[in-house]
Amino acid sequence: MAFKEKFLWGTATSSYQIEGAAYEGGRGKTVWEDFCSRPGKVLGGQNGDRACDHYHRYKEDVELMAQMGITSYRFSIAWSRILPDGTGAVNEEGIAFYSDLVDMLLKKNIIPFVTLFHWDLPYALYKKGGWQNPDSVTWFREYAGIIASRLGDRVKHFITFNEPQCFIGLGHVTGEHAPGNKMSKKAVFEMAHHVLLAHGNAVEVIRERVPDAKIGYAPTSAVPIPVSNNPEDIDAARKAYFSISSDDDNYMWNVSWWSDPVLLGRYPEEGMRVFAKDLPEISPEDMKIISRPIDFYGQNIYHGYPVRSDGNGGWEMVGRNEGYARTAIGWPVTPESLYWGPRFLYERYKKPIIITENGLSCHDWVSLDGKVHDPNRIDFMHRYLKALNQAAKDGVDIDGYFAWSMMDNFEWAKGYFERFGMVYVNYETQERILKDSAYWYRDLIQSRGRLLEET
């Protein structure tokens, strides 16, 4: 077994997807309330107003985590629950909720991992231009400083942003997520640069206020998987992973554009060339701020795609086999992505890796025996974690794994039609039921991963 003695066996959620209480406790409006109110944006016209009612049921939910043997819990804070207008006076009810949640987690010996931003921008800030406004850097620094000051005596692990590829790309390029915009490349690259500056400022203020903090960042990626172990195909997949996509519908879906500045202190040369006419002014001082040192590199990985050498030093995608395995949401099942992704990322960035999200949506329901049987989820997690363990055996420094998700929840534009949780949620009654995968994960944790070696 290659996983570390103190490997983080975790699970994850996000504020808008589970908390509910959208208009309670002094919480301000977010771009998601606005987006969900627009006809045709979310399946079934659904919204996160109530979601899993975690705001009122967090004690029950932490008890379930304890039953599962979870050692760390990654959750996001709703910016507008702390600062209803995004800036200004602190909402003490909001702080109290997260403070009580942290205390409950620590009581159960569960390490809290706080994500500062998981897509739910305060609507008041959106009206001021959101991430396109240069002041967004200062807004985020102020917010991060408040969280560090108020929770940093107990919370020691922080993640600045979750999946900027999504909240910028899906929110402002394709428009399929909140706030639902389709903007020019010039505007989008301004926003992307401000997000990275906000990240660097958050790292700086957290370091000032929580000197013993461990700070990370959690972008996402689909992983190129070499079709063979031939050096040429492996090199092709590596090149594909860090290449720049210039597809007009997908140009924000890049690994190197979002990670090179943070970890290498520079934007990738290919991107600077391809996007030159649309880029904002980028100063050396900007890059110093963006590349403030972090302690771990998070990565959300769900799947990958096959790649081979084109015979000329480049790469080409390979078509998938007919009838390839897919999850309920339609994503391919590719366990190898949790081997090659961490391997390539560690080679390039040389930071300890945490898989900050990995999981799948299944067709789950309550069976006649009153239980929820999800063998596909167990098989999926087993395969992916075996691949991750092999990466660790091959020298990749891996600190932990956070299963997505702790519980079924509001799956953004898919509403409540997709179930990603290890805990089943009846959205009418708010009853929780541990699925078979929750018990399997408990047993895996208790074995410290050794169950992966038995099959």
Active site residues: 163, 357
Question: Which has the closest alpha carbon to 404: 320, 329, 323?
Answer: 329
Q: What is the DSSP string of 117-157?
A: ESS--BHHHHTTTGGGSTTHHHHHHHHHHHHHHHHTTT--E
Q: What is the DSSP string of 91-114?
A: -HHHHHHHHHHHHHHHHTT-EEEE
Q: Please answer whether residues 166 and 222 qualify as being in contact, where contact means their C-beta atoms are separated by less than 8 angstroms.
A: no
- A 10 A CB-CB count for 59 gives 10
Distance CA 83, CA 169 (A): 25
Q: Please answer whether residues 206 and 155 qualify as being in contact, where contact means their C-beta atoms are separated by less than 8 angstroms.
A: no
- Number of alpha carbons in the 13 Å side-chain half-sphere of residue 418: 20
Distance CA 335, CA 324 (A): 13
What are 358's strand-pairing partners?
403
Amino acid present at 315: W
Residues 6+ apart with CB under 8 A from 379: none
Task: Please compute Rg for the chain using Cα positions.
Answer: 21
- Number of alpha carbons in the 13 Å side-chain half-sphere of residue 244: 14
User: According to DSSP H, which parts of 249-403 are helical?
Assistant: 255-264, 269-274, 284-290, 337-349, 375-393
Q: Please answer whether residues 179 and 37 qualify as being in contact, where contact means their C-beta atoms are separated by less than 8 angstroms.
A: no
